Amino acid sequence: MNDVPPFSLCRGGRLNDWLQRAGLPDGARGKLLLLGSLVAIGWLPLLLLSAAAGTAAGGVDHPFLTDLGAWVRFGVVVPVLLLAELAADRILGIILDLFRRSGLVRPADLPDFEAAAARASRRATSDAVETVLFLAALMLPHVMVASLPHLTGGSAWFGAMLDGTFHISAAGRWYAWISLPLVEFLLLRWLWRLLAWWGLLWRVSKLELEWAAGHPDGAGGLGFLAWSPRAFRAVFVGLSALAAAAVSNQIQFGGGSLADVRGPIAAFILCECLLLLTPQFFFTRALVRARYLGLAGYGLTASRLTREFERRWTDPGVPRGPDLLGSPEPSAVADYNSLYGLVAAMRPTGLSLREVAGIVLPLMAPFLPLLLYQYSLKDILREVLQLVR
């Protein structure tokens, strides 16, 4: 397998080549330099333009420095989207290597497996797709910003409503044409990478995999696939933080309440979970079939083993000697019963409850501070203490 190129959903394509020609090195140092450049392009001009207009810290109902969304976009989301690339490639590369080394993929299917991996990598970094994503990123802010509830009245650093018409400021123009498209493009690229990963797992699930029904991971040897959501988890936590900031702005400046947005928040978290966890279920049908085949095969052997054990140990016609107490048969039967128990407890997916909690709880965390809009910190602590008393 030494001739197999490293798998990556993030490296490759013309944009990556341009960045390298511009002098940005690979690795964390290159990501930090790119992050500094994007902050200088996307966030710093907003501060300078709003300061020049007198709307950075006051002068309007919604000053720039109190806009949680602008802070989160360039202080949380953009760093996460850039730095997550290093961890994602490492985690997904390990998972594909385990498919090869674990024996799940039969030697005869390895060429199809490698072709699927190469296709997913090419699609994730396709120049044509990135061009479409860039054009979509340019259009999305103009569709979304105009529909935000807190723009229906009052004044903000990016513009004001006058006589029923929204008048955009210089900072607002930079925000709509430069800052927002930068963030939207990075988000759309990650969504496309996730879909490319979906496609790869779908193709792998169609191969005749060699399941090990008695594998101690409880998933036929596929337990390592439950690590794959971790490759995208930081991205979706950043997305949750962005959504939480938007909700905060809506409550603070749009006159809404937390009760009004509880349903959308729950739906948003559910959608994130579905995007992250759905590929795990591509293998469910095969795992269920492997479980029943394993139960049938192990059950037949267990029947023969049990009958022979009972004949030797309980049949009164069988002679017994002092060597019977030192026989390894009881231990062998107990070990086989444990193995049969592993097969019987085999899950229809590689996910465990712990893995699911490790995904869901971080996605919920950015929304928890919103509780302070409805409850005081004292009330929250009191309710928590009552639960653990």
Domain chopping of the chain, boundaries: 14-289+348-388
CA–CA gap between residue 207 and residue 283 (Å, rounded): 10
pLDDT at 326: 46
Q: How many CA atoms lie within 13 A of 178 on its CB side?
A: 17
CA–CA gap between residue 198 and residue 192 (Å, rounded): 10
Spell out the residues 6+ positions from residue 119 whose beta carbon is closer than 8 angstroms to its own: 199, 200, 203
pTM score: 0.85
Amino acid at 240: S
Contact, 241 vs 76, CB < 8 A? yes
120-139: per-residue pLDDT in tens?
999 999 999 999 999 999 88
342-365: per-residue pLDDT in tens?
888 888 888 888 889 999 999 999
Place of tokens 């493009």: 185
pLDDT at 373: 75
298-334: per-residue pLDDT in tens?
778 777 777 776 666 666 655 555 554 445 566 677 7
Which class for 318: exposed (0-12), middle (13-18), buried (19 or more C-beta within 10 A)? exposed
